[in-house]
A and B are shown apart, each in its own frame.
Chain A
Amino acid sequence: MLEISKVSYSYGGNSVFSEVSLSVAPGAFYFLTGPSGSGKTTFINLCAGSLIPEIGSISVFGEETKNMTNYELAKMRRRLGIVHQECEFLDHLSIEDNIILPLSLAGLDSIKERANVLELMKWVGLYSKSKVKPQELSGGERQRAALARAVIMSPDIILADEPTGNVDWEMSQRLLQLLVELNKMGKTIFISTHDLSLVRLAKSYVKARTIRISDLQLSQAGADL
């Protein structure tokens, strides 16, 4: 589903990864941990096809991102649910329209789909805020809205970059529960986080694997987690 093979990446002359490899199995729950600046966001961007590896290859759904055209990359992103820490939205649209945006782009914006969006908004606890503009939402609400937008197309893999980075512990737990629910529905979850307590909590719900980035390498995290 997601194959990372001997990938190296650097910014200017500064290496972030050196020949890292990872195979993500379908339906698995992964945490990617590491200190700030270790390359977690870069790794997520590489998996999402926003960055292309200099050396090595990344295959998503069996196709190498390096060989994809912009059109194919966009098609691939429609099968991925991506949540960034910043949770950017189109500020001139309502939250409901922002969430339905991926469907609208795919030409699936129908009355039935609108009803599904409202169900999804109920699921993330934002039903009452459907007509509100993104800038009127709190950090936690924005994160949940971003998650709802990421899953609206029923993606096979959800890539979340520090999804609990800007929210309190209570909201982190709630977001985690939503991600665990998605995993139980068969979705592959890949979360980057520096919050080890979140990882510990997740392990009490699901069988989560933890990958640690340090010294330009990926490694299986220890049993202390």
Chain B
Amino acid sequence: MRFLFMLWKAFFNNPDHLQVVPNTGFTKWLTTFTAGAMSFLAVVALAFSLICSDLSNDWGESLKNSSLRLSAPTDLLEKQTKVALAILEQTSGVKSARLVGIGAKKKLLEPWLGVDFPLEAIAMPALIEIRETEAGVDYEGLRLRLSAELPSAILDNHAEWRRPIEVVSKLVSQLGMFTVILIMLSSIAMVTMASNAALSANVKVLRVLRLVGAFDAFIVTSFVRIFTLRIFLGSLAGTVCAGIVLLLIPTFSENLGILDVVSLEIKDTIYIACVPFLFAIISIFATRNAVKFSLKRLV
């Protein structure tokens, strides 16, 4: 509640008619540029981290299913498929098994064969998608049964290569989050240093305001208002620039197959849009502390 009150005071409640803190000079550009640059880095790191996280989830989800391939002459294929489906129905740990249609097969092979490849014209093996229960399937047992009853069937267990991919993408995602945290901590340090530098250049303003009987709360609010506005605008510019760069990336990565999914979701965009507000909050506390510290040292 107190924080919201401070936020309100910092931006909207301007009791003075005069602008007591100068909104000019090199410190203005220093704080604005610092906020912009740090926001840009934060947004890019955050975006990559979120993309990695989404990819990790997507890959994990899509590779959760195992598949069964059946190669047989065309006239036998339908019969063998029915047998395979019956076997799978009897196998414990199989939640569902369904025959993959021609449309899904086309989509699956599109990155390698292209959009217009006439898949119907060639003899394609039947493909059965197997969904597991939480308990999982005894793949060794299933493989043995299939080799006895359907020798042409090949069972692909995605779990073998899903796990390393999941581990790697999770690690990349965690590394991204760690980078974001580091950037945010650096941003706090940078914003604090920029505020202190700006305050050092304005120590005369502090002295004059004290001399004419300004309350400390008024002095703090005046500085917080102007510094926070600068940092918010700088951060907004940095975030918008980073956003534009991120928007351009998918345009260049079209037809990359699996990497087509490299894009931000709506929730990711919301996280990114929060960056300027986060910087504003950092600025409120950093400036408030810096001004209070300067006032304490003032004679």
Residues on A lying within 8 angstroms of B by beta carbon are 45, 50-51, 70-71, 74-78, 80, 82, 84, 88-93, 97, 100-102, 104-107, 109, 149, 153
The count of chain B contact residues (Cβ–Cβ below 8 Å) is 26
Contact (Cβ within 8 A) A45 B204: no
Q: Find the residue from B17, B18, B218 having the highest chain A CB count within 10 A.
A: B18
Residue among A51, A71, A91, A149 making CB contact with B215, cutoff 8 Å: A71
**Across the interface, which residues of A come within 8 angstroms of B209, CB to CB?**
105
B261 within 8 A of A: no
Contact (Cβ within 8 A) B213 A71: no
Residue among A77, A84, A91, A106 making CB contact with B22, cutoff 8 Å: A91
Residue among B17, B18, B215 making CB contact with A74, cutoff 8 Å: B215
Contact (Cβ within 8 A) B19 A92: yes
- The total number of A-B Cβ pairs within 8 Å is 69
**Across the interface, which residues of B come within 8 angstroms of A75, CB to CB?**
213
B129 within 8 A of A: no
**Across the interface, which residues of B come within 8 angstroms of A106, CB to CB?**
213
13 sampled A-B residue pairs with Cβ under 8 A: A45-B299, A51-B299, A70-B216, A71-B217, A75-B213, A76-B213, A78-B213, A88-B211, A102-B213, A104-B16, A105-B212, A105-B213, A105-B214
**Across the interface, which residues of B come within 8 angstroms of A109, CB to CB?**
17-18
Q: How far is the CB of B217 from chain A (nearest CB, A)?
A: 8
Q: Smallest CB-CB separation from B24: which chain A residue?
A: A92
Q: Which B residues, 12 to 39, have Cβ-Cβ distances below 8 Å to chain A?
A: 15-20, 22-24
**Across the interface, which residues of B come within 8 angstroms of A93, CB to CB?**
18-20
B210 within 8 A of A: yes
Contact (Cβ within 8 A) B212 A50: no
**Across the interface, which residues of A come within 8 angstroms of B24, CB to CB?**
92
B245 within 8 A of A: no
Asked whether A104 and B216 contact (CB < 8 A) given A82-B211, A88-B204, A88-B211, the answer is no
Asked whether A74 and B22 contact (CB < 8 A) given A45-B299, A84-B211, A88-B208, the answer is no
Q: Find the residue from B24, B209, B210, B211 having the highest chain A CB count within 10 A.
A: B211
Q: Find the residue from A51, A93, A100 having the highest chain B CB count within 10 A.
A: A93
Complex Cα distance, B292 from A70, in Å, reads: 11
Asked whether A90 and B208 contact (CB < 8 A) given A50-B299, A101-B18, A105-B16, the answer is yes
B207 within 8 A of A: yes
B246 within 8 A of A: no
Q: Smallest CB-CB separation from B212: which chain A residue?
A: A102
Q: Smallest CB-CB separation from A109: which chain B residue?
A: B17
B63 within 8 A of A: no
B205 within 8 A of A: yes
Q: Smallest CB-CB separation from A146: which chain B residue?
A: B211
**Across the interface, which residues of A come within 8 angstroms of B211, CB to CB?**
77, 82, 84, 88
**Across the interface, which residues of A come within 8 angstroms of B295, CB to CB?**
70
**Across the interface, which residues of A come within 8 angstroms of B204, CB to CB?**
88, 91
**Across the interface, which residues of B come within 8 angstroms of A104, CB to CB?**
16-18
Q: How far is the CB of A60 from chain B (nearest CB, A)?
A: 13
